[in-house]
Amino acid sequence: MNAEKMLNTYCPECDREVDARLEHRAETLPVKGEPTSYDAEVAVCPCCGEAIGDSRVEEGNLRRAYSAYCAAHGLMAPDEVKELRNSYGLSLREFSKFLGFGEQTIARYESGAIPDDSHNTMLKLASTAEGAASLLSVRESQLSGRTASAVRRFIESRTPLSGLAAAFAACQRPSQEMVTPSGRNGFRSFSMDRVAAVVCELAARCKDLYKTKLQKAMFFTDFLCYARTSRSMTGLAYAHADYGPVMDGRDRIVAELQDAGFVELTEKGWGEVVVPVCCPEGILSEDEIRLVDEVADFVNTFETSSEISSFSHELDAWSDTDSGQFIEYDSNAGQVEAAVARRMAG
């Protein structure tokens, strides 16, 4: 049985110091002009039974009323704001700067002030991995290295792994280019589930999708998606190789897709063709599937893998990079989109 909570205080009715009992009662308090019901803590005199006003109790009740108001309106409560900041491991000033707020704003919210709608939206955004990645892509140049690193750790900790992604991570330590949204992965954290969905869709639509041709098909899919949406489709990074752009971790990725039963490799001629076996559902949106269809139509204009490789060599993404160098999305997606459009128009 829990012991009663007591508070030594002064009872004005009895005009003496008493050990008051703390009880919980349903109370209503106006917050921003709106009557707000909350669970109040009340100090009760053991002699006269009257409620005693005590600043130590009322401060807690005010916080509870504000929290109840926030919950009713979908706003982040003070303790939630503090918990979010602590999960980043940032100081009040660092977290405010990351969010684009004034230096004292987060301190006010943690102390009990109610966030306005725009700030609440930003706080909610920062509570998710994708939201944090989006904010980092905009504000990284204004942040210290320590703050940026802390944000990246938060993103990594909040990015769930599916069974497929977990298996991939267990076999190969994800590189920084995979984990942290940046210009190298199209500002999307690497998603093995998305890779599986795109590879299966392409394999189902492209004629004789040899492994070399798959590398180019994925490259054009991600860069075309970035050109139109400012984000890649899979979070893959691509590097310069002898036969054109290739996926970072390409061999392990294809092997993992085989092991998971999504695709199989069938020997044909002098190479291996990627064949879909079980395509994951519900991963890509309808717009994304239409974009993959468009890329498949583009890929099918090339008779051989060497033809699409030669085509990729004409892009600055390949000609302006050295062997093994990562290809930046920002500076190359526009040219990739234009090249695809010319090919389809011709």
| pLDDT tens-place string over residues 201-211 | 999 999 999 99
| Same domain membership, residue 229 and residue 295 | yes
| Same domain membership, residue 331 and residue 207 | yes
| Same domain membership, residue 90 and residue 128 | yes
Give the burial string for 99-123 (b: 16+ CB within 10 Å, else e).
bebeeebbbbbbeeebbeeebbebb
Of 128 and 308, the structure prediction assigns the larger pLDDT to: 308
pLDDT tens, residue by residue, 296-307:
999 999 999 999
Establish if 170 belongs to a structural domain: yes
Of 218 and 73, the structure prediction assigns the larger pLDDT to: 218
pLDDT category at 311 given cuts 50, 70, 90 is: very high
Q: Where are the strands (E) in the chain, listed by range?
A: 6-11, 16-31, 34-44, 51-52, 238-241, 244-247, 263-268, 271-276
Establish if 269 belongs to a structural domain: yes
Q: Does 328 score more than 80 pLDDT? A: yes
10: CATH: 3.10.20
Domain ends where: 21, 49, 72? 72
| Same domain membership, residue 240 and residue 188 | yes
Establish if 1 belongs to a structural domain: no
Residue 285: DSSP 8-state: -
Q: Does 323 score more than 60 pLDDT? A: yes
| Same domain membership, residue 213 and residue 245 | yes
| Same domain membership, residue 187 and residue 330 | yes
| Same domain membership, residue 140 and residue 57 | no
| Same domain membership, residue 292 and residue 266 | yes
Of 32-46, 72-86, 207-221, the range with the highest mean pLDDT is 207-221
Of 250 and 341, the structure prediction assigns the larger pLDDT to: 341
- Give first-to-last CA distance, the chain, whole Å: 82
Amino acid 1: pLDDT: 41
Residue 119: DSSP 8-state: H
Location of structure tokens 């890929």: 299
Answer yes or no: are the C-beta atoms of 168 and 215 closer than 8 Å.
Answer: no
| Same domain membership, residue 330 and residue 250 | yes
- Closest by Cα among 247, 244, 245 to 233: 247
| Same domain membership, residue 331 and residue 228 | yes
Interacting residues of 62 by C-beta distance below 8 A, sequence separation 6+: 29, 112
Instruction: List 244's β-bridge partners, or say none.
Output: 241
Location of structure tokens 């994800």: 174
Interacting residues of 33 by C-beta distance below 8 A, sequence separation 6+: none
Domain ends where: 133, 157, 181? 157
Tell me the whole-structure pTM to 2 decimals.
Answer: 0.55
CA distances in angstroms from 281 to 112, 209, 284, 292, listed in the order given: 44, 21, 8, 14
Tokens read off for 31: 């917050």
Amino acid 329: pLDDT: 94
- Closest by Cα among 226, 205, 215, 235 to 295: 205
Establish if 259 belongs to a structural domain: yes
Residue 137 amino acid letter: S
Given strand 16-31, what is the order of strands in its sheet?
A: 6-11, 16-31, 34-44, 51-52
pLDDT category at 344 given cuts 50, 70, 90 is: very high
- Closest by Cα among 124, 158, 274, 116 to 208: 274
| Same domain membership, residue 270 and residue 221 | yes
Q: Give how many domains the chain has, as a whole number.
A: 3
| Same domain membership, residue 273 and residue 187 | yes
Domain hosting 330: range is 163-345
Distance between CA atoms of residues 28 and 173, nearest Å: 54
pLDDT tens, residue by residue, 122-178:
999 899 888 888 888 888 889 998 898 888 888 877 765 455 555 455 444 445 556
Domain ends where: 103, 125, 157? 157
Average confidence (pLDDT) over 267-282: 89
Q: How many CB atoms lie within 10 A of CB 320?
A: 13
Establish if 52 belongs to a structural domain: yes
Mean pLDDT, all residues of the chain: 88
Q: Does 275 score more than 80 pLDDT? A: yes
